[in-house]
Amino acid sequence: MSPTVSMDCGRTMAPPVPPHKPKPARPGQAQERLLKCVLLGDGAVGKTSLVVSYTTNGYPTKYVPTAFDDFSAVVQVDGNPVRLQLCDTAGQDEFDKLRHFCYSRTDALLLCFSVVSPASFQNVWEKWVPEIRRRCPLTPVLLVGTQCDLRQDVKVLIELARRRERPVPEEDARALAEKIGAVTYVECSALTQKNLKEVFDAAISVGLRQCDRRARRERKVRSTADKMKMLSKSWWKKYVCVQ
């Protein structure tokens, strides 16, 4: 499965909005499915840049801290339309109490850190994994290393060396992905778009499976409720007849 992005893209600003309603299918057209993906991670690791680069082929030239942004794009999966809702969240501590509004009915989580920010990598385990396990423990997680184009940037390496730090080794990131039960680990760059499509292809793939699982659970709950309702009606009929 290789999803391809169409040019039907949109953006809404904070606060978080409910998922888009599916468009009614025209005769002979497949029904548009909905898929919600939330991006998590420390501030300034490049979450917004990932989304902007993926949906517009552009790149933000100035960093503006995000509160909450919703982006929307239509992708084709095996010839069928899927509306991908991308919820870009704030990583700063002051938004911790608001971020949980984004988690409802999420199909996939992109947990991001910068490969040239060891602190953001450390926070994956110390901050973000506990929050995910508390808020949406059943949602599949993809670990994403951003800004991989800066691994060999001389200025970045000098600044890291000045702080006695170095870029996060890829093997350490893969080990952490396995430790936290992530579906996969991908390093990418929003600037060069290296592995950018692979990140969102993986999110779409696991998100659709999650969406199908949730639909099966909801059908089972409805079926059980219907059976209980029928049993209740049957019991009352027997009770009335006995009386």
* Mean of all residue pLDDT scores within the chain: 85
Q: Which long-range contacts does 162-171 make (Cβ < 8 Å, 24+ apart)?
A: 165/118, 166/118, 167/115, 167/116, 168/113, 168/115, 168/116, 168/117, 168/118, 168/121, 170/115, 170/145
**Residue that wins the pLDDT comparison between 208 and 20:** 208
Q: Report whether pLDDT(81) > 50.
A: yes
Q: Report whether pLDDT(67) > 80.
A: no
Kindly report, residue by residue over 84-131, the tens digit of the pLDDT: 999 999 887 777 777 888 999 999 999 999 999 999 999 999 999 999
CATH number at residue 141: 3.40.50.300
SS3 of the chain: CCCEEEEEEEEEECCCCCCCCCCCCCCCCCCCEEEEEEEEECCCCCHHHHHHHHHHCCCCCCCCCCCEEEEEEEEEECCEEEEEEEEEECCCHHHHHHHHHHCCCCCEEEEEEECCCHHHHHHHHHHHHHHHHHHCCCCCEEEEEECHHHCCCHHHHHHHHHCCCCCCCHHHHHHHHHHHCCCCEEECCCCCCCCHHHHHHHHHHHHHHHHHHHHHHHHHHHHHHHHHHHHHHHHHHHHHHHC
- How many independent structural domains does the chain possess? 1
* Residues 196/53, Cβ–Cβ less than 8 Å: yes
Kindly report, residue by residue over 121-139, the tens digit of the pLDDT: 999 999 999 999 999 999 9
Distance CA 66, CA 90 (A): 5
Kindly report, residue by residue over 8-17, the tens digit of the pLDDT: 566 554 444 4
Distance CA 156, CA 161 (A): 9
31 band by pLDDT with thresholds 50, 70 and 90: confident
Domain hosting residue 97, numbered range: 4-242
Kindly report, residue by residue over 156-210, the tens digit of the pLDDT: 999 999 999 999 999 999 999 999 999 999 999 999 999 999 999 999 999 999 9
- pTM of the prediction? 0.83
Kindly report, residue by residue over 221-240, the tens digit of the pLDDT: 666 655 566 666 665 566 55
pLDDT value for 60: 82
Q: Report whether pLDDT(50) > 90.
A: yes
Residue found by looking up tokens 């790149």 in the block: 59
